[in-house]
Structure 1
Amino acid sequence: MLRLFIADLHLRAEATDQARLGRFLTRFGAGSELFVLGDLCDLWLGDDIDLPRFAPVVDALAAYAARGGQAHVMVGNHDFLFGEAFFAHSGARPLPDPTVIEHAGHRLLLTHGDTLCTADVDYQAFRTRIRAPQFVADFLAKPPAERVQVARGFQDASRTATAAKAADVMEVDTAAATAALREADADMLLHGHTHRPGVHRLDAGKRVVLGPWYDGESALVWPADGPPQPINMGCNANDLID
Structure 2
Amino acid sequence: MTHYFISDLHLDAQHPKMSNGFFGFVKNLQESGSAKAESLYILGDFFETWVGDDYQDSLSEQIKCSLKELSDSGVAVYFMHGNRDFLMGEQFANQCGGTLLDEDTIITVGNDRALLMHGDSLCTRDIEYMKARQLLRNPLWQADFLSKPMDARVAFAAQARSESQSSQQMKANDIMDVTQADVDSEMTKAGVVRLIHGHTHRPNTHSWEFNGEARERIVLGDWSDSKGWMIRWEAGELPSLESFEF
The two structures have a TM-score, normalised by structure 1, of: 0.90
Structure 1 gap ranges (5+): 234-242
Matched, 1:218 2:229: yes
Matches for 1:63-212 after TM superposition, within 5 Å: 63-204=69-210, 205-212=215-222
Q: Distance in 1 between matches of 2:200 and 2:158?
A: 21
3-state SS, counterpart of residue 205 of structure 2:
strand
**Offset at residue 230 of structure 1 (A):** 2.4
**Offset at residue 153 of structure 1 (A):** 1.6
- Say which is worse superposed, 83-92 or 183-192, in terms of deviation: 83-92
Find the counterpart in structure 2 of residue 5 from structure 1.
5
* Total equivalences in the alignment: 233
* Letter paired with 1:212: D
Matched, 1:37 2:47: no
**Offset at residue 17 of structure 1 (A):** 3.3
**Offset at residue 49 of structure 1 (A):** 1.4
- Say which is worse superposed, 213-222 or 21-30, in terms of deviation: 21-30
* Letter paired with 1:17: M
Find the counterpart in structure 1 of residue 22 from structure 2.
21
- Say which is worse superposed, 196-205 or 4-13, in terms of deviation: 196-205
Find the counterpart in structure 2 of residue 59 from structure 1.
65
Matched, 1:229 2:237: no
Alignment deviations for residues 194-233 of structure 1 (CA, whole Å, 9 cap, x no partner): 0000011233411110111124110011111444332129
Asked if 2 retains the 8 angstrom alpha-carbon contact of 1:44 and 1:50, the reply is no
Closer/same/farther in 2, CA of residues 227 and 189 from structure 1, 3 Å limit: closer
Closer/same/farther in 2, CA of residues 95 and 167 from structure 1, 3 Å limit: same
3-state SS, counterpart of residue 54 of structure 2:
helix
- Say which is worse superposed, 70-79 or 211-220, in terms of deviation: 211-220
Q: Distance in 2 between matches of 1:43 and 1:50?
A: 12
3-state SS, counterpart of residue 22 of structure 1:
helix
**Offset at residue 53 of structure 1 (A):** 4.2
* Letter paired with 1:21: F
3-state SS, counterpart of residue 71 of structure 1:
strand
3-state SS, counterpart of residue 26 of structure 1:
helix
Alignment RMSD? 1.7
Asked if 1 retains the 8 angstrom alpha-carbon contact of 2:205 and 2:241, the reply is no
Alignment deviations for residues 80-126 of structure 1 (CA, whole Å, 9 cap, x no partner): 11122211210010011100112243220100000000100110000
Asked if 1 retains the 8 angstrom alpha-carbon contact of 2:90 and 2:100, the reply is no
- Say which is worse superposed, 184-193 or 20-29, in terms of deviation: 20-29
Q: Distance in 1 between matches of 2:57 and 2:103?
A: 23
Q: Distance in 1 between matches of 2:175 and 2:239?
A: 30
* Letter paired with 2:28: R
Asked if 2 retains the 8 angstrom alpha-carbon contact of 1:21 and 1:60, the reply is no
3-state SS, counterpart of residue 72 of structure 1:
strand
- Say which is worse superposed, 141-150 or 46-55, in terms of deviation: 46-55
Structure 2 gap ranges (5+): 31-35
Find the counterpart in structure 2 of residue 240 from structure 1.
none
**Offset at residue 148 of structure 1 (A):** 1.4
Asked if 1 retains the 8 angstrom alpha-carbon contact of 2:111 and 2:236, the reply is no
* Letter paired with 1:206: E
